[in-house]
Amino acid sequence: MIRFEGVVVRYPRASAPAVDGVSFEVPRATITAIAGPNGSGKSTLVRTLLGRVAMSAGTIYVDGDDAARLERRELARRVAIVSQREEPAFPVSVRDYIALGRHPHTTLWGGADPDGPEAVARAVNEAEVGAFVDRTTDELSGGEWQRVRIARALAQDARTLVLDEPTTYLDIAHEMAAFELLDALARAGRAILVVSHQLNLVARFAQQVVLLHRGRVAAAGTPGDVMRGDVLEQVYEWPLVVTRDPAVGAPALLPLRGGRKQ
């Protein structure tokens, strides 16, 4: 479980803060989605959680504790993050790659991780990557790769899972499969935070959507609360309509042609 409270991030030499007083909570057993235009502060929030970017104000709580005060390995045991473009410099076996998720549970001298093999086996099952664990990472397709990254994060055995744009470059089937996997993981009790541009998918899978605009929360709540034509039009600065998906009843976004000229 993560709680962002009044988080402010200023990049040096930037005129406006990248994140400006963002507060929301990522509860257990749900999918929370962060959406918003490019540059609205989504990835900055993830980097802040990682401790890669310093906060000027605010606090991030992980399972009730201030994340900034947690030891890095302890934080990694509580929150697993699949960042954008995570890939080893040189191909490794998929099994070894997934086992890297055990790093926060090990000591440098090896040993001391009795749960390791079981956690890796569980992650392989949950992410359904058993068919290609014996390959190397350069032999995976885009969809397989994304499942393997998620398996790596699952092996970390953290109660919260954060994914930064997990379905970029995936086709419709793999995109759906990835979200179905996240849905199953949330049902199993994990807190899931997913940064995504795929508003229509988010509307169908997430229980909560946080819409960011210029570093602030423009709207937050259920997909139905957030996915309103007037709100989205203002945030994305593009004409659009929100209808109701005739098949499943979820809000569906349809951008219109003829928006502002660049």
Partner 1 sequence: MTRPSSRATFWALLVAAVAVAALLGLAIGPVRLTPWEAWAALTGDGDITSVAIMRDIRAPRVALAALIGAALAMSGAALQGTMRNALAEPYLLGVSGGAAVGAVVALAMRAPYGLVPVGAFGGAVAAVILVLAIARAGGGRPDPRVLLMAGVVVGAFANAVIMIALASSPPDATRNALWWMMGSVAAATWAQVAWLAVYALLAGGALLVFAPEIDVLALGDEAAAGLGVTVERAGRRAYVLASLLAAATVAAAGLVGFVGLVVPHLVRARAGRQHRAVIAAAGLAGAALVIGADLVARTLRAPNELPLGAVTALGGVPFFLAQLRRFR
Question: Which residues in this chain contact partner 1 in the complex, by CB under 8 A?
Answer: 47, 50-52, 72-77, 79-93, 95-96, 100-101, 103-104, 106, 108-110, 134-136, 156
> Please, which residue, 28 or 52, has the CB nearer to partner 1?
52
**Residues in the chain, how many?**
262
CA 105 to CA 153: how far, in whole Å?
13
> Please, which residue, 98 or 232, has the CB nearer to partner 1?
98
> Please, which residue, 83 or 207, has the CB nearer to partner 1?
83
Smallest CA-to-CA distance from 149 within 85, 103, 60 is with 85
CB of 55 to partner 1, least distance (A): 15
Query: First vs last Cα of the chain: how many Å apart?
Result: 40
Q: Are 187 and 29 in contact (CB under 8 A)?
A: yes
Q: Which residue's entry shows tokens 């749900």?
A: 30
> Please, which residue, 79 or 227, has the CB nearer to partner 1?
79
> Please, which residue, 118 or 134, has the CB nearer to partner 1?
134
Q: Are 127 and 94 in contact (CB under 8 A)?
A: no
CB of 157 to partner 1, least distance (A): 12
CA dihedral 233, 236, 239, 245 (to 10 degrees): -70
193's tokens: 């935070």
Q: Are 20 and 180 in contact (CB under 8 A)?
A: no
CB of 23 to partner 1, least distance (A): 23
CB of 144 to partner 1, least distance (A): 16
CB of 88 to partner 1, least distance (A): 5
